[in-house]
Amino acid sequence: MKNQNIKFIQGNEACVEGALYAGLDFFAGYPITPSTEIAELLSYRLPQKGGKFIQMEDEIASMGAIIGASLTGSKVMTATSGPGFSLMQEALGYAIMTEIPCVIVNVQRGGPSTGIPTHVSQGDVYQARWGTHGDHAIVTITASNHQDVFQTTVDAFNISETYRTPVILLYDEVIGHMREQLVLPKQGELPLVERLRTSVREGVNYHPYLPREDGRLPMSDFGGVHRYNVTGLFHDMWGFPSDNPEVVHDLIRHLVDKIRNNVNQIARFKEYYLEDAKCILISYGSSARSARHVVEYLRPRGEKLGLLELQTLWPFPHDIVNEKCVNAKHVVVVEMNMGQILREVKRAVERPERVFIANRIDGVFITPKDIRDILRVIQGKGV
């Protein structure tokens, strides 16, 4: 008999299911391969629950629209790929500066520029971190299978509400388009974080940008009883523009610290056979599937191989990577770019000279053989 809670769907659809589960109210987007299925499906599903969908004139407008909608108290999301993600960067910085919760999905394809639209890449890891200008912190999460796509999408909304920050879901073409099973959790099975709203009553002074002692910033919905100003300029606790050095300094510290001080709370990762691993593969997103394949294949053949699959890429969990790799002879980062997470891993471990890369940058999904070839070279066995 068919189990109604099991679906056989694309990763992009799993992301939609996760977003709806988390309480998505509003989506604005612009068509772009390989993320378009997210917009298509939400145009159908959102109005069924009274939510709103709009196809904007470009990705800049999409980002603007979700920020505006979030301010009124909605849970919001947009989805795009490389070129569209580039266009979103200025407004992304605005959401960081104004601390407006929102979720941005980037289903990565090959770049730079138009690149290779229907093929996979993981080349936007740094862009997610530093794409917008100025000093800032950001949260970026990824996943390697549909159950985790669902879970990380829910997490993205929760983190976004908790820390009042944009969260980037950095999926890729393979995950987005591939179909596999998703078991839908029941309502209530996964915890959901709702918007923390101010308890300040009408007529009492509300300071929209005065964090509580725990660092959280209670919000008042636009259209509610508190009228305040929101600006991308450095601003004081009222939300008013300020160039007072103390105000500027404190705000940038607050924006960075609220993420940096919670690295371990935000860090999501999975580990396989790390206890006795002499060689550790570190991977994320779809490439972690190929890495896992290699580990499962070589373990029974006597190789002490393990896998650390990162889900949170930013803030990078340096301490966790350091601790997990402390006994490894070799660390091999498996990714589909020129070494973006490689660099972070090298910065995290005790002996960076023992960190290698198994990568692919030609639009072809990295194969288990690609990884095993590199392993053989590292182990001095030749190709």
Chain residues that interact with another protein, rule: CB under 8 A = 2-3, 6, 8, 25-26, 28, 33-34, 44, 47-48, 50, 52, 54, 56-58, 60-74, 76, 90-91, 94, 117-119, 173-174, 177-181, 222-225, 227-233, 240-241, 286, 289-290, 292-293, 296, 365, 367-369
C-beta of 318: minimal distance to another protein in Å? 27
Closer of 89 and 344 to another protein (Cβ) = 89
User: Which residue number, 50 or 382, has a Cβ lying nearer to another protein?
Assistant: 50
Phi and psi torsions of 138, nearest 5°: -150, 155
For residue 116, the cross-strand partners are 110
Structure tokens at 131: 């794409």
Per the omega criterion (within 30 degrees of 0), is the bond before 112 cis? yes
Closest CA to 125 of 101, 106, 102: 106
DSSP code of residue 83 = H
The alpha carbon torsion through 164, 108, 361, 83 (nearest 10 deg) reads: -100
> Helical H runs in 46-170?
59-71, 82-98, 125-130, 146-163
Of 23 and 224, nearer to another protein (C-beta) is 224
| Of 255, 268, 60, residue with least CA distance to 165 | 255
Distance (Å, rounded) from C-alpha 302 to C-alpha 299?
A: 5
C-alpha–C-alpha distance, residues 109 and 171, integer Å: 9
CB of 56 to another protein, least distance (A): 7
With respect to another protein, which residue has the nearer C-beta, 16 or 266?
Answer: 16
215 vs 368 by CB, closer to another protein: 368
Identity of the residue, 5 or 379, whose beta carbon is nearer to another protein in the bound complex = 5
Closest separation in Å from C-beta 97 to another protein: 10
Amino acid letter, residue 89 = Q
Cα–Cα distance measured from residue 272 to residue 8, given in angstroms and rounded to the nearest whole number: 26
Q: Which is nearer to another protein, 52 or 216 (CB)?
A: 52
Considering the complex, what minimum distance in angstroms separates the CB of residue 326 from another protein? 26
Q: Which two tokens stand for residue 301?
A: 């053949």
- Least separation in angstroms between CB 242 and another protein: 11
CB of 261 to another protein, least distance (A): 28
Report in angstroms how near the CB of residue 138 gets to another protein at its nearest.
Answer: 17
Q: Which residue, 191 or 203, is less far from another protein as judged by CB? A: 203
Cα separation of 65 and 181, whole Å?
Answer: 33
Rounded Cα gap, residues 309 and 175, in angstroms: 15
Q: How far is the CB of 346 from another protein (least distance, A)?
A: 26
Specify the DSSP element, H or E, that contains 310: strand 305-310
